[in-house]
Structure 1
Amino acid sequence: MKKIITFKKVLNNEFIIKIIESFFGKVSFVLFTMLFSFVCTRLYGAEIFGQYTYAFSIVTLLMIFAKAGFDNSLIYYIPKYKDKYISLSFVVNVIISVILVLVANFFIDEWFVKLMLPLIWLVSMEQLFFGIYRANGNIKGFYFVNGFLAGLFKILLIILFYFVFDRNFLSIALAIYISFLLSNLIYFYQNKERFKKVIYDNGFLKYSFSLVLAAVMGVTMDKIDIIMLGTMKDMKSVGIYQIDVQVANIIFMILVIFDTVFGPQISKLYHSGKYKELQDLYVKSTRVLGLLSLISLIILIVFSKYILLLFGKEFVEGQMALILRGFGQFINVAVGSVWLMLAMTGNPKWHIYTNFIALTLNIILNYLLIPKYGVNGAAFATMTSMILVNIIGYILVCKVFKVRVYGIV
C-alpha cells in the first residue's frame, strides 16, 4: 500500500511529469533525426549528406546571433513579467536574421551553403518559441511538433523529392525549408495570443545579449570541427563525422531532456529564494545523470561498429571518432547542468570566459590534428575542449552553490 502511495506521489510531482514529457519528446526528436540521417545517407550518400551537414552547421552557428539569447532570457523573464517581452524578441530576431543573411552572402562561396542561409531566421525563430514553451511548462506541446510532426514530414519529403529531383542536394534543402516553415506556423498559431505591443526595454536586451557570446562560443566549439573538416578535408569526411556526432549525442540527450525542465525550475527556485531546494535538486539529479551516462557510454563502445554499419560500410571508419565523442559527452552529462545553473541565476559571464579558452584550444587542436588524423583528430580535439569546459563549470558550481556531488571538490 505504501509503495502505491509513493508511486502516486511521484506521478503527481509536476517536475517529474515534465521530465517524462521531455524524455518522450526528445527521444522522438532523436529517433526522427537519426532516421532522417539514415535515409539521407542511404539515398544520397556520404558526400551529399556531408554538404548538407556542412551548410546546416554554418546556419546553426549564425543562428545563435539571430536568436540573440532571447530563448534563455524569456525563460528567465516570463516567470516575472509574463508575455511582456515576447513581441520585442521576435522583432529583433527578424532584423538580425535579415542582416546576417545579407552579410553572409558576401563572404560565402559555396552555392549549397548560400542556398541554406535563409534558414537562419526559421531555425532561430523556432528556438525562441522553444523558450516560450519551456517557460510556460508546455514541453509536450513543443515536442509534438518538433519531435514528431516536423520530423516525420521532413523524412517523407526527402524520399518524395529524391524521385522528383533525383539524387540532388536540392531535394534535402527543400525538405528542410518546408518542415521548418510548417513547424513555425504551428508554433505561432498555438501562441498567437501572447504577441502583443512591442515594448522596448534596454535591460531585457542587455541581459539577452550577454548570453549570446557564451552561446556562440559553445555552438562554435560544437560545430568548428565539422566546418574545419569540410575546409581542410572533404565533404565525405564531414558526412561520416556527422553520423559519429549524432550517435554520440544520444548520450548528451540525457542532459538535454533534463535541462528542458530544469532550466525553468532553477529560475523559479532562485527567484523564490529556495536555495536549499535548488542545491538538493542539482546534487541528486547530477548523480542520476552520471550513472545513466556511464551506462550509455559502455553500450556505445560495445556496439559502435554495428551501429555505424546501419548507415553503410563507409561510415565504419569513423568508429574511433564515435568513441572519442561519446566519452566527451559522458563527461558533459556526468557533471550535470552546470552552465544552466549559472546562467539561470544571473551569472552567465563565467561561461563566456571558459568557452573562449575551450574554443581557442579546440581550434588549435583541430588545425594540428585534422590534416593527419581526419575525423579522429577532429573528435579528439572536441572531446578535449568539451571535458575542459565542463570540469571548469562543475568546479564553479560546487564553489558558488556550496555543493558536493561526487565528493571530489
Structure 2
Amino acid sequence: MSKPDLDINNEKSIKKNSFFSFLTTSLRVIANIFLFWTIARFYGPEIFGQFTYAFTVITIFLYLADFGLDILLTTDLPKDLSRLNIVFNELLTIKIIFICISSLLLFVYALLVKISNDVFHLLVILNFYLIATSFLNYLFAFFRAQERLEIETKITFIYNLFVIITVSLLYFFKLDVVYLAVCLVLFRLLALYIALLKSLKYIDKIRIKINFALLKKYKDKVSVFGTHYIFNYLYYNIDTVLLAYLIGEKSVGIFQAAFKLLVILLIIPEIIINALLPALSRLNNENKLIWESYSSLFNKLLMIIIFPAAILIFTNAHNIIDTVYADSQYSYSAEVLKYYVLIITIRFMIEPLGLLLTTSNKQHIRAYTVLFVTIISIAMNIVLIQKYGVLGVVLTGFVTNSIILITYIFFSYEICQKWYVNTKFVYFIFSVILFGITVLFIKLLIVQFLLYLIYLVTFGYFIFLNKDEKELIKAYK
C-alpha cells in the first residue's frame, strides 16, 4: 500500500471513529448528567451522596472486573485480525475469572465496611449491574478493535433512552432511588443481549472454557494493562470513598455536585482517544511520522480547549452552581468547582502523553506511575480531608496529577520538546494570559462564552496549528 493510500485510509477510519465516538460518549454523558442532576436537585445532597458513593464503589470493582482486558483487546486485535476468534475467546475466559472475583469482593466489601442501609441495598442491587456492564464493555471493545464503533453507538442510544425515561418517571412519581438501581440493571441486561447478538456476526462461536493456564499465557500484558486500568480509576475516585468514610455521605454529594459538571469537559479527550486508539496502535508500527502528527494535533486541541475554558469556570464558579442546583446546600460546591477545574486542566495535558505511551508499547510506565500516585493519594487524602474537608481532595488531586504529568513528560521527553519548546507555544501562553485579563473586565457569562468561541477559531486554528495539523483537521470536512 502506498503512503497516500495509507493516509486516506487513516483519515477515513479516524473520521468515522471520531463521529461515532462523539455520539456514543455524548449520549452516555447526557443521560448521566440528567440522572445525577435530577437526584442532586430534587433529592438533596444526602441521597445524592449515597447514590454517587454507591456508584463510585461499583465502578471501582467494575474496573477490577475489566482489569484492562478491554483496552488490551482494542489495541492487540487490530494488529492481527486473523487471530480474531482465538484472542476473543481466550481473553473472554480470563474476563469471566476477574468478573467472578470482583463480584465476590464487592459483596464482602458491602458486608464489612461501615455504610448506611440505603447504600448497602444499592450495592447489592448494582452488583448485577457490574456483571452485565463488564461483559458489555468487553463486547464494545471487540467492536472498537474492528473499528465498528457504530454498533456501540446504537446500543448506547437504546440504553440511555430508557435511562432518561426512567429518571423522569422517578421524579414524577417521587420513587425511591432503589427502584432506579433495579431499572439500571434490567436495561444493562437488555443492552448486553443486543450486543451479544451483534458480536455473533463477527466471530464463529463463543467458546468459554475456564482455563487458568491462560492467565499464565497473558500474564505480562494483562498485569500491565490491568494494574494501570484499576489503579488509574482507583486513583481518580478513591477520594469519594474516603470522603464518605471520613466525614459522611453528604460531603460526597457536595463534592460530586461540582465534579459531575466537570465530567462534561472530560468527554472531549475520551471521544478523541476512543477514535484514535485503534488507529494509533496500528500506526505506531506502520508509520511513526503520521502517528506523531495525530498525537501532536490531539495535544494542541486539548490545550486550546481547556486553558480558556478553565478561566471561564474559575471566574464564574458560584454563578454556575447556583444556576444548576438552585439550592443553598450546594454553595460550598462552588469552591470545589473553582479549584478542581485546575486539576482537570492538568488531566487534559496528561491524556495525549498517556496515549503516546499506550500506543508505543510503554503501558507499563503508566501502570507503575498510577500505582505510585494512588498510594500517595490515599495517604494525602486521609490527612487533608480530616484537616480541610472537601477541599482536601482538591489539594491532593493537584499534587498527584502534577506528579503524573511530570513523569509522563520525562518518559516522552523528545516529543515534549517538540510540543512545548517552540515559538507557537510561547504565543499560546501569552494568548491565554490576555484572554484571562479580558474576561476579568467582562461580567456577562454569555459574552465571555462568545469570546471563548472566537478565541478557539481565530487563535486556535489560524495561529496555533501548523500547516500539517490544519490539513488533518480539513480531512474531517
- Per the normalisation by structure 1, the TM-score is 0.88
Correspondence for 1:297 among 310, 317, 321: 310
The amino acid across from 1:95 in the alignment is: I
TM-aligned CA deviation for residue 152 of structure 1: 2.4
CA distance in 2, matches of 1:379, 1:183: 36
The aligned counterpart of 2:224 is: 210
Q: How does 1:202-241 map to 2 (within 5 A)?
A: 202-204=216-218, 206-241=220-255
The aligned counterpart of 1:4 is: none
SS at match of 1:337: helix
**Residue deviations 1:86-106, cap 9 Å, x none?**
223333323322232223323
Query: CA 1:368–1:261 in 2, change beyond 3 Å: closer, same or farther?
Result: same
The aligned counterpart of 1:21 is: 20
The aligned counterpart of 1:407 is: 421
Q: Does 1:140 align with 2:143?
A: no
CA distance in 2, matches of 1:130, 1:226: 27
CA distance in 2, matches of 1:285, 1:100: 34
Q: How does 1:95-114 map to 2 (within 5 A)?
A: 95-109=97-111, 110=115, 111-112=120-121, 113-114=123-124
Correspondence for 1:92 among 87, 91, 94: 94
CA distance in 1, matches of 2:412, 2:193: 39
TM-aligned CA deviation for residue 161 of structure 1: 4.4
The aligned counterpart of 2:163 is: 154
The aligned counterpart of 1:179 is: 187
The aligned counterpart of 1:45 is: 44
TM-aligned CA deviation for residue 197 of structure 1: 5.1
- Per the normalisation by structure 2, the TM-score is 0.77
CA contact (8 A) 2:74 2:141 kept: yes
Query: CA 1:328–1:184 in 2, change beyond 3 Å: closer, same or farther?
Result: same
SS at match of 1:300: helix
Q: Does 1:374 align with 2:389?
A: yes
CA distance in 1, matches of 2:93, 2:134: 12
Structure 1, 253-262 or 242-251: larger mean CA deviation:
242-251
CA distance in 1, matches of 2:298, 2:161: 32
SS at match of 2:420: coil
Q: How does 1:252-263 map to 2 (within 5 A)?
A: 252-263=266-277
TM-aligned CA deviation for residue 11 of structure 1: 12
The aligned counterpart of 1:5 is: none
CA contact (8 A) 1:158 1:171 kept: no
CA distance in 2, matches of 1:379, 1:338: 23
SS at match of 2:195: helix
The aligned counterpart of 2:321 is: 308
SS at match of 2:265: helix
Query: CA 1:311–1:183 in 2, change beyond 3 Å: closer, same or farther?
Result: farther
CA contact (8 A) 2:370 2:404 kept: yes
How many residues end up aligned between the 2 structures? 397
TM-aligned CA deviation for residue 397 of structure 1: 2.1
TM-aligned CA deviation for residue 205 of structure 1: 5.0
The amino acid across from 1:183 in the alignment is: A
CA contact (8 A) 2:73 2:145 kept: yes
The amino acid across from 1:265 in the alignment is: A
CA distance in 2, matches of 1:197, 1:257: 29
**Residue deviations 1:11-44, cap 9 Å, x none?**
9743234223322332232222111111122333
SS at match of 1:385: helix
Query: CA 1:351–1:388 in 2, change beyond 3 Å: closer, same or farther?
Result: same
CA contact (8 A) 1:358 1:388 kept: yes
Give ranges in structure 2 of 5+ residues lacking alignment. Answer: 1-7, 426-477
CA distance in 2, matches of 1:228, 1:77: 36
Structure 1, 259-268 or 292-301: larger mean CA deviation:
292-301
Identity of aligned residues (%): 19
**Residue deviations 1:55-104, cap 9 Å, x none?**
11111111122112211111122113322322233333233222322233
Give ranges in structure 1 of 5+ residues lacking alignment. Answer: 1-8
The aligned counterpart of 1:356 is: 371
| 4+ runs deviating over 6 angstroms | 9-12
Structure 1, 171-180 or 100-109: larger mean CA deviation:
100-109
CA RMSD of aligned residues (A): 2.6
The aligned counterpart of 1:79 is: 78
TM-aligned CA deviation for residue 375 of structure 1: 1.8
The amino acid across from 1:381 in the alignment is: T
CA distance in 2, matches of 1:94, 1:329: 34
CA contact (8 A) 2:73 2:88 kept: yes
The amino acid across from 1:171 in the alignment is: Y
CA distance in 1, matches of 2:144, 2:197: 17
